[in-house]
Amino acid sequence: MRRWRAAVCGLAAVTCGAGLGEAVAVLTGAASPIGAIGDAVIDATPPWAKELAISLFGTADKAVLVVSVCLVMLAIAAGAGIWDARRPPAGRIVVATAALVGVAVVLTRPDAAPLDAVPAVLAGVVSVCLLGPLIQRAAPVDAALSSGATDAAGVSRRSFVAWTAGAGALGVLAGLGALAVRLGGSAAQAVRSAIRLPAPAVTAPPVPPGAALAVEGLGPLITPNADFYRIDTALLVPEVDPSTWSLRIHGLVDHEVALSWQELLALPLEESTTTLMCVSNPVGGELIGNAVWLGYPIRHLLALARPQPGADMVLSTSADGFTASTPLEVLTDDRNAILAVGMNGEPLPPEHGFPVRMVVPGLYGYVSATKWVVDLEVTRFADAKAYWTRNGWSERGPVKLSSRIDVPRAGAALAAGDRVIAGVAWKQHTGVGGVEVQVDGGPWTPAVLATAISADTWVQWSLPWRAERGSHTIRCRATGADGEQQTGEVRPVVPDGATGWDEISVQVG
C-alpha cells in the first residue's frame, strides 16, 4: 500500500476520534483531552522553555501550544496508519497506547473527576475502531492499480476518498463546534452576564487631572479588559460556577474561615486602582496593565482566621490546581490586597479569574495574583513550595522599579521636527519620583511626570524632543519616590524579574 494512503487513514481516524472527544467534553462538562495534555505539557516544560515561548509568542503562547499538541498528535496518527498497513494491528496498538496515556494524563490533573476520562476514552475507541476499516478501504486501490484494472481502481479510490474524507470532516466539524461553544457559549459566561455587582462601600480615588497625557500612541492610563495581558498556566480557561464557589482559609490559623460567593458579595467591597505585572515581562515589555478592581481586603479575612506565630506565607490555590506563595506580611499590611470580583466596572472576565481572583499591589503575579482562587493556606516558606518556586523562581517577587518608552515606537521612521518622547513608569507601593531620558548617549534630561493615581499604579511621562535627521537611540530610567534609581544592569527575567533601561532606535528622515 502506498505510504501516503496509509498515513491519510491514520490522520482521518485520529482526527475523527479527537474531534468527537472534544465535542463530548463540551456536552458533558468533562475535561478536554487536548486541553489536559496541553496543561500537562505546560507543567512538564522547564522554566527556560516557558520563558522562551512567552518571549517569542507573548500572550499567543497558549494558541501555539494547542497547535503544537495537535501537530504532534497528527504526526503520531500518520505514523500509526503507515505501521498498521505494514504490520497490522501495530498501528492500532500505537493509537490505543496513546489514548491510554491521554486518559492517564486527564485523570492525574489536580481537579480531575471520573467523568473527565470519558472523552479521552471515546476518542481512543473511535480512532482504533476506524483505523482498521479505513486501511481496508485503501488496500483495493493499490491492488487494482497493480493489476491494471483501472475501472476497479476508480471505484476503490472513490470509496477510499469518501470514507477518509467523511471521517476527517466529522472530526474537524465536531472539534470546531466544541471550540465555538467554549469561546462563546459556556455556562460560566452565561452566569457572568447575569451578575450585577454591588456598589462599592469604598470607591476608588478619582483619576486626578493631568494623570492621562494626551500623547498619541501612549498606552492608556486604565487598560481595557480586552487589552489586559494574560499569562497563566491554564490552557483552557477554568469554568467556575459562582453558586458553588467557596474559599477556605486554613493552615497555621486559630480559626478556619469558609466563604461563599454570596457571603463575599455581602461584605463591604472596596474599589482600588492597581497595576499588575508579569515577572516574565522584559524591560520595555507589555505584560503589564492597570485596572480598577472591586473586592474585599484579604487582611480582614486573615484577621478573622488569626494566623499563628511563625507563619510567614499564604499558599493560594486556584480551581485548576495552580499555586502561588505570597508573603503573609504583604497580605496583612495597609496595601489594597484584595479578593477581586470586579474589573473596570464589570465582573471579572473568565480569562482574568472569574468569579474571584487575588490582586496584590507590589508583587509580580506569579507570587500573588492567583486567578479562580479557592483556597488560602497560611503556612511557612520553609514548609511549602508553590508552582513557580518549584520551577526555579524566587520565593518573593517584589515588582522592580522600571520604566518604558511607548512613543515613538522602536524602529519607527519619523519626520524631522518637534516630536515627543513618552511612556510609563512604576514602583508599586512606593511611587515614582521622576523619569529621565537620554538621546544618543547625551545627558539625562528630566521628563514631565504626570500625576499618579496612587503609589500602586503606573504613571505616564513625556518629554518634548527636537528630532533631527539620522538614526537615534533613546533610553529612559526612573527614580522612585524613595530616591532609588532604576538600575542599568541588564538581567534576565529569571529568577525574579528583568532589569535594565528601556532602549529604542528610530530613524528620522
Q: Are residues 84 and 51 in the same domain?
A: yes
Assess whether 36 and 178 both reside in one domain: yes
Q: Check pLDDT > 80 for residue 201.
A: yes
Range of the domain at 485: 402-508
- Kindly state whether residues 384 and 433 are assigned to the same domain: no
Cα distance between residue 502 and residue 335, in whole Å: 28
Residue 386 shares a structural domain with residue 412: no
pLDDT of residue 235: 80
52-56, 405-409, 410-414: range with lowest mean pLDDT: 52-56
Do residues 237 and 179 share a domain?
Answer: no
Mean pLDDT of 277-294: 96
Any domain includes 281 = yes
How confident is residue 296, by pLDDT bands cut at 50, 70 and 90?
very high
- 491: domain CATH number? 2.60.40.650
pLDDT(308) > 60: yes
One domain, residues 56 and 180: yes
Instruction: Give the pLDDT confidence score for residue 255 in this predicted structure.
Output: 97
Asked if residue 207 is part of any domain, the answer here is: no
**pLDDT at res. 60:** 78
67: buried, middle or exposed (CB in 10 Å: 19+, 13-18, 0-12)?
exposed
pLDDT at 236: 81
For 6-60, write each residue's pLDDT tens digit: 999 999 999 999 999 999 998 888 889 998 888 888 878 887 787 778 777 877 7
Tell me what the mean pLDDT of segment 391-412 comes to.
Answer: 94
- Model confidence at 153: pLDDT above 80: no
On the question of pLDDT at 115 being above 80, the answer is yes
Q: Are residues 408 and 383 in the same domain?
A: no
pTM: 0.82
Residue 317 belongs to a domain with what CATH number?
3.90.420.10
Distance separating alpha carbons of residues 448 and 461, to the nearest angstrom: 6
Calpha distance 232→234 (Å, rounded)? 6
User: Could you tell me if 430 and 290 lie in one domain?
Assistant: no
The band of 226, judged by pLDDT with boundaries at 50, 70 and 90, is very high
Q: Decide if 50 is inside a domain.
A: yes
Instruction: Give a yes or no: residue 195 inside a domain.
Output: no
Q: Are residues 265 and 369 in the same domain?
A: yes
Q: Identify whether 396 is part of a domain.
A: no
The per-residue pLDDT for 65 is 82
Q: Please check whether residues 87 and 12 belong to one and the same domain.
A: yes
The alpha helices in 29-149, defined as continuous H runs, are 33-44, 47-57, 61-86, 90-107, 117-147
Distances (CA, A) of 77 to 98, 106, 128, 218: 10, 20, 10, 48
Whether residues 348 and 229 share a domain: the answer is yes
In a domain, 229, yes or no: yes
In a domain? residue 170? yes
In a domain, 210, yes or no: no
The total of structural domains in the chain comes to 3
Tens digit of each residue's pLDDT (9 = 90 or more) over 76-107: 999 999 999 999 999 999 999 999 999 999 99
CA–CA distance, 484 with 427 (Å, rounded to integer): 10
Query: Is residue 240 located within the same domain as residue 367?
Result: yes
